Chain A
Amino acid sequence: MDVTARIHEQLTKCGIKLAASLPDDWVAPLIERIAADKAMRHVRVAREAEAVAICSGAFFGGVRAVALMGATGLLTCTGELATLNLRHQIPVFLIVSQRGSIDDHRIYQEVQGRRTIPLLQAYDFPYHVVDRPDEVSSIPDAFETCRLQKRPFVLFLTRRLVKGEAVA
């Protein structure tokens, strides 16, 4: 089973019925796999903060949801995560590519690599990094922690996980 199928399987195990997404190239295969799943309502959004608010609204309908995006998108919605989710203690589970890592040789991801985690720490948003296929099974625990902590929770997917070992 490839890693995208494994992640999808774990999201199903969490009881997730709605996914809202805006792709970057690392999470795109996962998004398309979810889009093909008739058991999950998939919502393509125009801006990542929409995904955050859609998942927050779905929470009040009793539906478990996930927001999928790239690291750059996560940076664009910190205001909404703070003033909607922190303010009201609404859990929202985000799956985000961990761009700007040492094996991500894209100049326009460099700042995200240096500043994303310090930013999450400043907001006191919990996060968990999934780096290897055998760690994908931690997703249900991460999802439950998100609900329990009643705040945004970011599950990062590394390059090694989604693209395989980097070629020098």
Chain B
Amino acid sequence: MKAREAIDLLAQHRGDAVAVCALGMAANEWWAATKSEDSFYMHGAMGFAASFALGLALALPQAPVWLINADGSLCMNLGCLLTEASQAAKNLKHFVVDNGVYQTVGGLPVVNDGRTDYAAIARGAGFSRVRAIEGLDDLRRQLPGIVTEDGPSFTVLRVESETGFLRTPPMTYEGPEMKYRFGRALERRFGIEVFGPQGY
């Protein structure tokens, strides 16, 4: 399956989940599929979308939080799996789009090209709900169960490698605007106060 197909399918099953996306391909494809402002699209801090999503999930236990991660980002912060497993947030679901390459910089291979078993690493870290999904039909069949079960779960989406700089363009806003769009969206949805009475 292609990354776009997998992410389109995730988006169809998203329900009311708040998403946090790793920078690059994951963020760009999620934006293309959802155009959603109640998603946070990392533009930096590669590897740490996972930690950001965990902090959000712990702070908002009433909200389903989906992490749309990518293999290159996961490699940069494998320790996040230990922290996620230790916190056992029931509302957090971790998806990893595994294309084996750094797609947005031209498709160069990810470290340890083709040999890493991310699902085994997650099991070793203490995740009990772990899947590695190879094809679109399998993903379509398993997603309803993934969506309804308690987290934390870890799902690897094995997709085809594709090349090309910025195949899918990024979201059309960034920096502080992303902060305020995301924060205000969560304030509206959950009745919480992200920003104080003076707006900061």
Q: Do A and B bind each other?
A: yes
Q: Which of A17, A41, A82, A88 contacts B175 (CB 8 A)?
A: A88
Q: Which of A18, A57, A80 contacts B44 (CB 8 A)?
A: A80
Contact A60 B83 (CB under 8 A): no
With A62-B193, A89-B179 already in contact, the answer to whether A54 and B54 are too (CB < 8 A) is yes
Contact A80 B48 (CB under 8 A): yes
Q: In the complex the two chains form, what is the Cα distance from A61 to B64 in whole Å?
A: 12
Q: In the complex the two chains form, what is the Cα distance from A69 to B73 in whole Å?
A: 23
Q: How large is the interface on B (under 10, 10 to 19, 20 to 34, 35 or more residues)?
A: 35 or more
Contact B58 A58 (CB under 8 A): yes
For A20, give the chain B residue with the smallest CB separation: B55
A contacts with B: majority SS: helix
Is the C-beta of A106 less than 8 angstroms from some C-beta in chain B?
A: no
Count of CB-CB pairs between chains A and B under 8 Å: 132
Q: In the complex the two chains form, what is the Cα distance from A74 to B42 in whole Å?
A: 21
CB B31 to nearest CB in A, in angstroms, measures 16
Q: In the complex the two chains form, what is the Cα distance from A62 to B195 in whole Å?
A: 8
Q: In the complex the two chains form, what is the Cα distance from A162 to B45 in whole Å?
A: 31
For B182, give the chain A residue with the smallest CB separation: A60
Q: Which of B166-200 contact A (CB under 8 A)?
A: 174-176, 178-179, 182-183, 186-187, 190, 192-194, 196, 200
Is the C-beta of A84 less than 8 angstroms from some C-beta in chain B?
A: yes
Q: Which of A23-47 contact B (CB under 8 A)?
A: 41, 43-47
Q: Which of A56-88 contact B (CB under 8 A)?
A: 56-63, 65, 79-80, 82-84, 87-88
Residues on A with C-beta less than 8 A from B47 are: 49
Q: In the complex the two chains form, what is the Cα distance from A49 to B77 in whole Å?
A: 9
With A50-B51, A89-B179 already in contact, the answer to whether A57 and B20 are too (CB < 8 A) is yes
Residues on A with C-beta less than 8 A from B60 are: 61-63
Contact A82 B83 (CB under 8 A): no
Q: How many residues of chain A have a CB within 8 Å of chain B? A: 37
Contact A57 B55 (CB under 8 A): yes
With A57-B53, A60-B194 already in contact, the answer to whether A41 and B58 are too (CB < 8 A) is yes
Q: Which of B55-79 contact A (CB under 8 A)?
A: 55-60, 63, 77, 79
Is the C-beta of B111 less than 8 angstroms from some C-beta in chain A?
A: no
Contact A150 B59 (CB under 8 A): no
With A18-B58, A43-B83, A57-B59 already in contact, the answer to whether A62 and B194 are too (CB < 8 A) is yes
Q: A61-B60, A82-B44 are in contact. List 5 more A-B contacts (CB 8 A).
A: A45-B51, A53-B51, A54-B58, A88-B175, A147-B200
Would you give 12 A-B contacts (Cβ < 8 Å), ordered by A?
Answer: A50-B80, A51-B51, A52-B45, A58-B55, A60-B183, A61-B56, A61-B59, A61-B60, A62-B60, A62-B186, A87-B44, A89-B176
